[in-house]
Every structure is written in structure tokens, then in C-alpha cells.
Amino acid sequence: MTLTHNLKQEARRLGFDFVGVTRPVLPPGYPVYEGWLEAGHHGEMGYLASDRARVRRADLNQVLPEVKTILVLGIHHSNPQQASPGQDDRSYGRMAAYAWGDDYHEVLPARLQALIAFLEVQTGLPVPNRWYTDTGPVLERDLASLAGIGWIGKNSMLINPKAGSYFLLAEIFLGIALETDPPFESDHCGSCTRCIEACPTSCILPNRTLDARRCISYLTIELKGAIPPELRPQMENWIFGCDVCQEVCPWNLRFAPGGGDDQFAPRPRLPLIELQSELSLSAAEFNRKFKASPVKRSKRRGYLRNVAVALGNSADYAVIPTVIQTLQNDPEALVRGHAAWALGRLASDASRQGLIAARQTETDEGVLEEIDAALSAW
């Protein structure tokens, strides 16, 4: 117990807000997750359904053969309710709050490794270990619930009754026995359905999972190709991720802290994203602006695809010349196609002329289809 206590104290010193310990048992949500995969609700995230991933989720000894306990950690990021830039002004894009600061994939590993080093000093022995932070085939939220950190809400997010859900998770599989925490067994969602009612694309399913194919976070980050046209209007001005289901959650409204870890604090010029100027980012400018940011995950082509959709939803006709220029000159067909859609949404004589002109020179079949569909608005 002294070792577990010391390890938890060190985790908090390193900045983790939640620390829990559980055994390597099959999470109770595993059958639901397998059913989710079988239903195809993971969309194009094929890595989730690989044979290797499924074997490891079903048997945590496949992750670390020596595993005896799992240390589960949580850390707060920024709270979008501090200031929700772009929420009311559609000339600005909105991003999920976790993306306002540095990429947690790059921030947390050093802290996890420091925690392992501390443990090995305490024991005087090397300790078999393996750590993840959204980087491996484990059911993080289920493990966190088993470690007593919170319950899985109707929006599929892990919710802590004293702090809401604006936090990130990490796990360390350890080949050493620690004192475990009791699982969090209460469900405090009750009859509340605010997240379900607020979801712009109705992606929340009855069994506390999501149809990722309709989720704005999936559409703006994980989906690499064209966004389904029928979902584009519901994306409003979200350009990377989405926080709607968390923003309306009573547990966040009442208990979420005002801010998070300093490394996840908003970067300069983030989260305020002026859409029209963003559409002109070159590859070098995109890489420079989003270096060590989660946004780089979408790559320039995916990010500007999202920006084009947001501009199409902006009802701001002043952006039409910029969108036309993108349609005619952007090197990525994916971006040009969504720019064509945006012009169809911003229906005007100028948009129509821009689409007709682009059609004379465009060679990509997908973009031509987008142009024709946009012209059908007339």
C-alpha cells in the first residue's frame, strides 16, 4: 500500500489529476465494443478491427505477458466553456478544446516514462511495463471506470462526478502488484438526454456508443476522403473535432474546472481560427502553424477540406472570391471538391460563374462531380 500511495503521489506531482489502479481483467464493455465493430460503426478506422488489436483487447496479457496491475491516469485539458470562440460568429472555425494546446501524444509519454522510472527506484528493480495514451488496442474508458475514475456516459465519454469529462487518459501496464481501487459502479446520467438531443448529426447510439461515421470528430479527423454531402451542413463551423455533447453535459456545466494542464493551454492564435485566411494556408504554413499540435493529424488536405465546409456553412458571401480561388488553384482535389460544395451553398451569380469557369479546366472526376452537384443549386 505504501508503494501504491507513493506512486499515486508522484503521478499527481507530475500533473495527473486522476490516478487509479485496476487488475488486467476483461472489461465489461468488451462485448458491446465487439458488437460496435461488427456493426461497422468504426467507419474507416480499420486499425480498430484488426485481428491483432482484437486479440489484445480480449486478453490483456497479450499486451504485457507479465502484467499484474494497470495504472490508469487522467489529466485535464482546456475547458471550452472558458471561452467558446467561433460559436456564434460563423466567420471563425471551432476546434475541440483538447486541440487548443500541445499534442497529448507528445506531452504525456515523458511523464509516463518518468513515473515508471520513479517506480523502479522505489522497488530497486526493473519493472516490466507498457504504456499507452490513445495509442494502443485497449479500452481506455472501461479500464478507467474499473480503476474508479468515473462512469461512461450516454455520449460514450468518461465522466468524473467531481470534474466532468474534459480530461485525457493514459495507462501503464505493470508487471508488479499494486493496491487496486474499487470500480466506479454508479451511473449518474439518470434520465438526462441533453447530449443525445444536442448532437448535430444524431450520432449517439442507445448503448453509450457512437456511430463514428456520423460523428463530427470522426468526419473532421479520422475520415481521409470526402465528407458525405448530407452531413456537411450539420458540421456547422467545426473544423477539428467537436465538443457539443460535452458542452451541454450538466456534469461539465457544474463541475468542470476552469482550465487544465499548462501544456494544453491554448496556443497563440488558437482557438480563434479565421476561416477565410485559413483556406489559403500553404503546406509549409500549415506544418509551421500546427507543429506539435493535434491538428497536424488531419494533414493540410483534411484540414482545408473542413475549412471549406465551414465556409460553405458560414452564410458569408464576402468569402466567395477566396473559395473560388481555392477551387481553381488548390493542389489537392479533396480541397477543391469541398470548395465547390461551399460555393453551391453560397449560391450567387459570382459562385455560379466561379463554378462554371473551374469546370472548364478541372480534370479530376471527383471534383467535377462536386461542381456539377453545386451547379444544380441553380
- What cell was used for 285? 504554413
Backbone angles phi, psi at 129, to 5 degrees: -155, 160
Amino acid at 20: G
Q: 295 near 240, Cβ under 8 Å?
A: yes
Query: How far is it, in rounded angstroms, from Cα 52 to Cα 337?
Result: 36
Query: How far is it, in rounded angstroms, from Cα 130 to Cα 123?
Result: 17
- What cell was used for 148? 474508479
Tell me which of 134, 142, 181, 261 is the catalytic residue: 134
Q: 231 near 219, Cβ under 8 Å?
A: yes
Please report, for residues 4, 87, 255, 367, the alpha-carbon distance to residue 320 in angstroms, rounded to integers and kept in the order given. 60, 21, 42, 18
Assess whether 103 carries a catalytic annotation. Answer: no
**Percent helix, strand and coil across the chain, each rounded to 5?**
45, 10, 40
Query: How far is it, in rounded angstroms, from Cα 253 to Cα 240?
Result: 22
Query: How far is it, in rounded angstroms, from Cα 317 to Cα 321?
Result: 9
Nearby residues of 117 by Cβ (< 8 Å), 6 or more positions away: none
Strand-pair category, 69-76 with 18-22 = antiparallel
Q: Within 13 Å, how many C-alpha atoms sit on residue 179's CB side?
A: 9
Q: 165 near 158, Cβ under 8 Å?
A: yes
* Burial of 259 per CB tally in 10 Å (0-12, 13-18, 19+): middle
Q: How far is CA 289 from the centre of its chain?
A: 19
Query: How far is it, in rounded angstroms, from Cα 188 to Cα 148?
Result: 14
Task: Give the residue numbers annotated as catalytic, written as ranges.
Answer: 134
